[in-house]
């Protein structure tokens, strides 16, 4: 498989992080970094590890269709991505990177599924603006994220900053919990076992899609 742009996701994320550093005040950046540190040192959002059974779920996609994991894995291995929302530039870059490799994943029998706590209309927005050709599911109240040990509550000291940036989680997620999933990527085989797992408290870092692709190829 030749080298393609989707192998450079972290470069794109680093550029976005640099831009964020230029446009936001240092005190805001410091608070964001504190929230990452506090999450990393907490007991929340540690995720599941490779080798365990992937919890089953049924969630609706952006058109209201119900999608069940146990039914999807019968078709082939699933790359399951938990992301924060349409308001997160790092999440959008990640989803675009996976879209660039969607045909490659499909060609070897795999498929992509992305999950966030957003309401279906915001899932549709993510799908449209990033031209995603895979399932984008709504995990209302983070119930599935909780099964995967990814759910966490944002600290109250970030609420004013999010609101000042027009990030209203109450609107995007349709509840007042201020809960999100830790960004995570899982490769789940046809037996429903998690074979590869990446969970990262720092939302500016994600598993490289090329690594996921190479791992999928190794399953065959």
Q: What digits encode the pLDDT tens for the residues 128-156?
A: 999 999 999 999 999 999 999 999 999 99
- What is the pLDDT at residue 130? 92
Residue 20 has pLDDT above 60, yes or no: yes
pLDDT at 7 over 90: no
pLDDT higher than 50, residue 4: no
Look at residue 50 and tell me whether its pLDDT is greater than 80.
yes
Residue 72 has pLDDT above 90, yes or no: yes
More confident residue, 7 or 201: 201
Q: CA 202, CA 209: separation in Å to the nearest integer?
A: 17
Q: What is the mean pLDDT of residues 110-116?
A: 97
The token pair that represents 58 in the structure block: 């049924």
Cα distances (angstroms) measured from residue 95 to each of 55, 57, 80, 128, 156: 22, 21, 11, 12, 28
Tell me the residue length of the chain.
Answer: 220
pLDDT band at 8 (very low <50, low <70, confident <90, very high): confident
Report angle CA 150, 70, 56 to the nearest 5 degrees: 30
């Amino acid at each position: 498989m030749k080298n393609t742009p989707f192998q450079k996701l972290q470069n794109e994320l680093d550029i976005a992080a640099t831009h964020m550093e230029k446009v936001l005040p240092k005190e805001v950046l410091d608070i964001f970094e504190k929230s990452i540190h506090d999450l990393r040192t907490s007991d929340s959002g540690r995720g599941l590890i490779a080798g365990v059974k992937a919890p089953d779920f049924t969630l609706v996609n952006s058109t209201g269709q119900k999608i069940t994991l146990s039914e999807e894995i019968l078709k082939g291995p699933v790359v399951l991505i938990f992301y924060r929302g349409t308001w997160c530039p790092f999440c959008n870059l990640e989803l675009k990177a996976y879209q660039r490799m969607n045909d490659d994943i499909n060609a070897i029998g795999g498929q992509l599924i992305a999950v966030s706590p957003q309401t279906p209309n915001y899932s549709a927005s993510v799908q449209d603006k990033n031209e995603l050709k895979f399932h984008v599911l709504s995990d209302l109240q983070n119930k599935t994220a909780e099964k995967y040990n990814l759910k966490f509550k944002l600290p109250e000291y970030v609420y004013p900053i999010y609101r000042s940036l027009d990030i209203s989680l109450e609107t995007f997620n349709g509840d007042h919990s201020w809960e999100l999933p830790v960004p995570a990527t899982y490769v789940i085989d046809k037996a429903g076992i998690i074979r590869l797992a990446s969970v990262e408290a720092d939302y500016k870092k994600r598993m490289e899609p090329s690594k996921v692709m190479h791992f999928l190829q190794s399953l065959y």
